[in-house]
């Protein structure tokens, strides 16, 4: 029994050590996403300050190839105004926005690692939407329809 | 220690520390299971009820709670090393006659007439314990990997393993919850072994864990019925 307890203490020590090591690595390396060099993302369509009607296309230019999470590639999160938790996942260079209140919006585009952590490249574009769901009194965008 | 607040004789099967460890584990596991399935079913980017409640996105919630489970597991095996060793030893236990327990089990779910076994856990629980520990270890290992690696080829493999472990653990967890909640007639009353002060009715222990109850009672008698011991407390009756 004593021997078992001792062995367990070693196993436990190793487990805690491993968890701490992984934790430290996560803090230090989580943002890099395993790619080297500075990454960038920009929006070529719609252009800043433009007026669009629903549905409209968004074209992103990324310095790294985009793909589904299951491929291990990066992807992009797009959200409007302050709704950072309500976002559209974009796994290729283009996507469609189908649901957004009429009015002025700031479109946020954030390059993400496959595990959704920020890859360190972001941009934002101001646009005006005509038609759509009508002016939103609170000024915030309606959640986009992701088409799931 | 055990309390008898009513005339019904009760026994403490698990210490307070073990009950809290179990509760912390299942709260985190349930959040992980919920947010994990939310992401798996393509809802990423749409806040789940849990994300709305906490104001944290599902991905972040999943990852934070994942780290919490990792810490709980590490603390559990560090400070509960003896209990963990007993748990593993009792989970790999095999006695003659255990196969007969399995043959009678489907009917006993309804009748409560289980074949006698000698273990701390019944033979079915032992298999579930091993499956749960193995799968949770896989999920914690691959989950911390996913959080650290962030992308690339290793990420793809970690994600595959993480997802497959989720598929397998889901029915095992649901089965465990169904049995442990005491919904099935044969297992009625077992939930108190882990909850509500751990006051399990002796009659329930007699029906589900007879060998353990006898050993426990004789240990308690030998210790003059005063102090509680590592795996449980004092049967009163
Ligand atoms: C009961 C335990 C767990 C279950 C059932 C579970 C389930 C899942 C599922 C289903 C996914 C989504 C996979 C996909 O989108 O294809 C996922 C992703 C992920 N899990 Fe877990 N997981 C668990 C524990 C953990 C732990 C302990 C960690 C450690 C931090 C963790 C970290 C992650 C990460 C970083 C991702 C990828 C990012 C994301 O999509 O959120 N998971 N998990």
B84 CB neighbours in chain A (<8 A) are 8, 12
CA–CA gap between residue B72 and residue B31 (Å, rounded): 14
What residues line ligand 1, using a CB cutoff of 6 Å?
A 69, 115-116; B 29, 32-33, 36-37, 39-40, 59, 62-63, 66-67, 69-70, 139-140, 143-144, 146-147, 159, 162-163, 166
pLDDT tens for B210-227 read: 999 999 988 888 875 554
| Contact: A34, B155; criterion CB under 8 Å | yes
Q: How confident is the model at residue A133 (pLDDT cuts 50, 70, 90)?
A: low
Q: Do B144 and A33 touch (CB under 8 A)?
A: no
Q: Tell me how far apart the alpha carbons of residues B142 and A34 are, in angstroms, rounded to a whole number.
A: 17
Nearest by CB to residue B77, choosing from A15, A72, A146, is A15
- Residue owning the nearest CA to atom 16 of ligand 1: B40
Tell me what the mean pLDDT of segment B172-186 comes to: 96
Q: Is the confidence at residue A139, as pLDDT, over 90?
A: no
Give the Cβ contact number of residue B42 at 10 Å: 11
For residue range A32-62, what is the model confidence (pLDDT) as tens digits? 334 446 899 999 999 999 999 999 999 999 9
Does the CB of B78 have a partner CB in chain A at under 8 Å?
yes
Which residue, among A65, A144, A60, has the nearest Cα to A105 in the 3D structure? A144
Q: What share of residues in chain B are helix, strand, coil (percent, to 5)?
A: 70, 5, 30
**Average of pLDDT values for A112-122?**
95
If you ran DSSP here, which 8-state letter would residue A51 be given?
E
- Domains of chain B plus CATH, in order, are 16-187 (1.20.950.20)
Closest of A50, A99, A93, A62 to residue A79, by C-alpha: A99
Tokens representing residue B173 in the block: 């967890």
CA A103 to ligand 1 center in whole angstroms: 37
Q: Residue A140 above 70 pLDDT? A: no
Are the CB atoms for B165 and B91 separated by under 8 Å? no
Q: CB of B48 within 8 A of CB of B35?
A: yes
Helix (H, G, I), strand (E, B) or coil at B26: helix
Task: Tell me if chain A has a CB within 8 Å of the CB of B46.
Answer: yes
Other C-beta atoms closer than 10 Å to the C-beta of A46 total 20
The answer to whether residue B52 scores a pLDDT higher than 80 is yes
Average pLDDT over residues A65-93: 94
Given an 8 Å threshold on Cβ–Cβ distance, is B81 in contact with A8? yes
A45–chain B nearest CA distance, Å = 22
For residue A28, what is the nearest residue in chain B, using CA coordinates? B148
Residue B155 near residue A114, CB atoms below 8 Å: yes
Question: What is the rounded average pLDDT for all residues in chain B?
Answer: 91
pLDDT of residue B197: 84
Q: List Cβ neighbours of B102 (8 Å cut-off, separation of 6 or more).
A: B123, B124
Give the Å distance between the CA of A80 and the centre of ligand 1: 26
Q: Is some CB atom of chain A closer than 8 A to the CB atom of B191? A: no
- Contact by Cβ (8 Å): B11, B213: yes
| Cross-strand partners of A60 | A43
Candidates 3.40.1080.10, 1.10.357.10, 3.40.50.261, 2.60.40.10; correct CATH number of A41-132?
2.60.40.10
CA separation, residue A94 to residues A10, A91, B20, B72 (Å): 52, 8, 49, 42
Name the pLDDT band for A83 (thresholds 50, 70, 90).
confident
Tokens 């309606």 -> residue: A142
Q: Is B40 on the interface with A (CB under 8 A)?
A: no
Give Cβ neighbours of residue A142 (< 8 Å, ≥ 6 apart).
A99, A100, A101, A133, A136
Burial class (CB in 10 A: 0-12, 13-18, 19+), B25: middle
Contact B148 A22 (CB under 8 A): yes
**Complex ipTM:** 0.77
**CB-CB: which of A25, A35, A69 is closest to B148?**
A25
């Amino acid at each position: 029994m004593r021997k078992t307890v001792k062995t367990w203490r070693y196993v436990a020590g190793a487990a805690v050590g491993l968890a701490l090591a992984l934790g430290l690595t996560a803090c230090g390396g989580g943002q890099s996403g395993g790619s080297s060099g500075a990454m960038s993302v920009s929006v070529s369509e719609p252009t800043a300050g433009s007026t669009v009607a629903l549905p409209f296309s968004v074209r992103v230019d990324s310095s790294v190839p985009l793909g589904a999470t299951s491929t291990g590639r990066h992807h992009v999160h797009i959200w409007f105004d302050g709704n950072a938790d309500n976002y559209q996942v974009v796994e290729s260079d283009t996507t469609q926005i189908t649901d957004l209140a009429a009015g002025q919006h700031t479109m946020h585009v954030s390059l993400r690692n496959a595990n959704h952590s920020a890859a360190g490249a972001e941009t934002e574009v101001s646009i005006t939407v005509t038609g759509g769901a009508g002016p939103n009194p609170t000024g915030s965008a309606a959640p986009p329809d992701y088409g799931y | 220690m055990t309390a008898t607040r009513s005339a019904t004789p009760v026994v403490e099967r698990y210490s307070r520390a073990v009950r809290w460890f179990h509760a912390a584990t299942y709260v985190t596991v349930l959040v992980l299971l919920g947010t994990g399935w939310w992401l798996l079913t393509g809802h990423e980017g749409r806040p789940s009820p849990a994300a709305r409640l906490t104001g944290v996105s599902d991905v972040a919630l999943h990852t934070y709670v994942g780290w919490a489970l990792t810490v709980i597991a590490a603390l559990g095996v560090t400070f509960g090393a003896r209990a963990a060793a007993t748990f593993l030893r009792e989970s790999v236990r095999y006695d003659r006659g255990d196969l007969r327990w399995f043959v009678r089990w489907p009917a006993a779910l309804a009748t409560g007439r289980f074949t006698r076994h000698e273990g701390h856990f019944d033979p079915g629980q032992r298999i579930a314990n091993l499956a749960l520990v193995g799968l949770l270890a896989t999920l914690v290992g691959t989950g911390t990997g996913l959080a650290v690696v962030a992308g690339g080829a290793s990420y793809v493999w970690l994600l595959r393993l993480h997802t497959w472990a989720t598929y397998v653990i889901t029915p095992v967890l649901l089965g465990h919850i169904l049995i442990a909640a005491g919904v099935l007639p044969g297992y009625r009353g077992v939930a108190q072994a882990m909850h509500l002060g751990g006051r399990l009715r002796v009659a329930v222990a007699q029906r589900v864990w007879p060998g353990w109850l006898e050993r426990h009672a004789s240990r308690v008698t030998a210790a003059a019925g005063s102090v509680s011991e590592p795996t449980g407390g004092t049967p009163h009756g």
